[in-house]
Structure 1
Amino acid sequence: MIIVIVRTIILYAIILIVMRIMGKRQLGQLQPFELVITILISELAAVPMQDTGIPLINGIIPIFILMTAQILLSFITLKSEKARGIICGKPSILIEDGNIMEKELSKLYFNINDLLEQLRVKGYPDIKDVEFAILETEGQLSVIPKSSKRPATPKDLKLNVTQEKIPITIIIDGVLIKENLKIARLSEKDISKILSQKGVNSFKEVFFAGLDSSGQFFFQIKDFVRNR
């Protein structure tokens, strides 16, 4: 039993490392070759995990071979447009100027009901409102609405708006994120001073704190502090 537990932990750790090396992507964003490699890796890990008679190395070596193959293919698709088209495919236009491309749907085995469902999910139930609908290489449908159907932007309304910044997390569950302090160009003393002005004496009393998109500091204290 202990052997099974140890083997499982080792394989789990190896899979985590391999998936991190291969990059951060959600399952729905994987290219076909990436999805195939991910499935094969999971199968290779499952066999030695279940059968203790199979040497652990027999599962680990193929996993690293597949990881190397995936990295190599990713590098090739990064450097070569032609190879990218062969390996990943090319985006396909399914709707152009409100007209469904029947031949393209047939070529991709993509039926009209699926197309209409995807459009409704994107918030466009009427095909005539769509300028372009493009099926991306990872299977996602990108919808470009007609100009008259696009939401008005500050530029359209000729409004001057302040450029937003990336929100920065400063404190999580009482722990100060020092790496983010450098990004925010603040020190621990600065945060302590701001909190003390609000009646908070310790970082441990703060559940969450950060800078919003406008650069303003905000925080939320923990429940036990609020209720005491």
Structure 2
Amino acid sequence: MEEYFIIIIRTLFLYGLIIVIFRIMGKREIGELSILDLVVFMMIAEMAVMAIEQPDDPIIHTVLPMGVIVFVQILFAWLSLRSKSFRELLDGKPSVIIHNGKIDDRGMKKQRYNYDDLLLQLREKDIFNLADVEFAILEPSGKLSVIKKEAQTPHSLTLPLVLDGQIQSSHLDMIGKTAFWLRKELKDRGFRDIQEVSFCSFQDGEFYIDKKDR
């Protein structure tokens, strides 16, 4: 019975301690947490679990390393506020994925960011046509910031016909077109090899084509 009482007391104490720690470390939305923030939170949570599961172990063995982690995190946060280089080293820096309507394939590969990720995040912002995007910036948190081209109005869903040099046959079927038609249209626009095309979509009789970077 005494063991259960100790576990309950430890649980309540650690619960309160973790709340205090997170308040000290500052408020941040889950989607804005950096990799370092996530690692720190996971370490603190794991320490709390171990302290609850091992009631015979002195509580100081948990509180001390938690305090060290909080101190280091606050120190790093202080250094980040005063040094852009240090901040970029810890959190990374934004990457321009689309610049002046042109997709940066190298930037996407460097961030291990694919077209599925890009299209998904654009749809979440009610943007269904890549041609409507002037700038897209991938933030260190993984969020996508988008600046649309001027005078753009909502469109119907635009399906990609080519992704990374691969024809999307299922999407062609959905719009009643064939691969032969697509190759001919691309050839008429100076693309003799489908592998030259990074992205291609078709809407209202207009093509949006992005050529692969060499």
Alignment TM class, shorter chain as reference: 0.5 to 0.7
Cα shift at 1:138: 1.3
Return the TM-score normalized by structure 1.
0.64
Q: Deviations over 1:96-143 (max 9, x none)?
A: 222221111111111101110000001111011001110111111111
- 1:77 is paired with a residue of what secondary structure? helix
**Equivalent runs, 1:134-145 vs 2, <5 Å:** 134-145=137-148
Letter matched to residue 36 of structure 2:
F
Other-structure match for 2:109: 106
Show the counterpart of 2:118.
Answer: 115
Instruction: Give the aligned partner of residue 218 of structure 1.
Output: none
Q: How much has 1:149 moved relative to structure 2?
A: 2.4
Counterpart residue number, 2:82: 79
Residue 132 of structure 1 is aligned with which of 132, 135, 140?
135
1:70 to 2:73 alignment: yes
Alignment partner of 1:35 is 2:38 = yes
Partner of residue 23 from structure 1, selected from 17, 26, 33: 26
> How many correspondences in the alignment?
151
3-state DSSP of counterpart to 1:149: coil
For normalisation by structure 2, the TM-score amounts to 0.68
**2:196 aligned residue:** none
- Alignment partner of 1:54: what SS? coil
Aligned structure 1 segments of 4 or more residues deviating by more than 4 angstroms: none
Query: Which amino acid in 1 is paired with 2:93?
Result: K
Match of 1:91 among 89, 94, 101: 94
- Give the share of equivalent positions with the same residue, in percent: 40
Q: Which SS does the other structure have where 1:131 is aligned?
A: strand
The residue matched to 1:148 in structure 2 has which SS? Answer: coil
8 Å contact from structure 1 (residues 99, 128) kept in 2: no
Shift of residue 150, structure 1, vs aligned partner? 7.6
RMSD: 1.4
Partners of 1:62 and 1:105 in 2: how far apart? 38
What stretches of structure 1 of length at least 5 have no aligned partner? 152-228
Structure number with greater CO (CA < 8 Å, separation at least 6) is: 2
Alignment of 1:158-197 (within 5 A): none
Could you list the per-position Cα deviations for residues 184-204 of structure 1 after superposition, in whole angstroms to 9, with x for gaps in the alignment? Answer: xxxxxxxxxxxxxxxxxxxxx
Residue in 2 that maps onto 1:45: 48
Partner of 1:193: none
Point out where structure 2 has 5 or more consecutive residues left out of the alignment: 155-214
**In structure 1, what is the Cα distance between the partners aligned to 2:117 and 2:59?**
44
- Determine the C-alpha separation between the residues in 2 that align with 1:30 and 1:109: 19
Q: Is the 8 A contact 1:95 1:134 kept in 2?
A: yes
Matches within 5 A, 1:205-220: none
| 1:25 to partner: Cα distance | 0.8
- Pairwise CA distance, 1:55: 1.4
Q: Deviations over 1:183-227 (max 9, x none)?
A: xxxxxxxxxxxxxxxxxxxxxxxxxxxxxxxxxxxxxxxxxxxxx
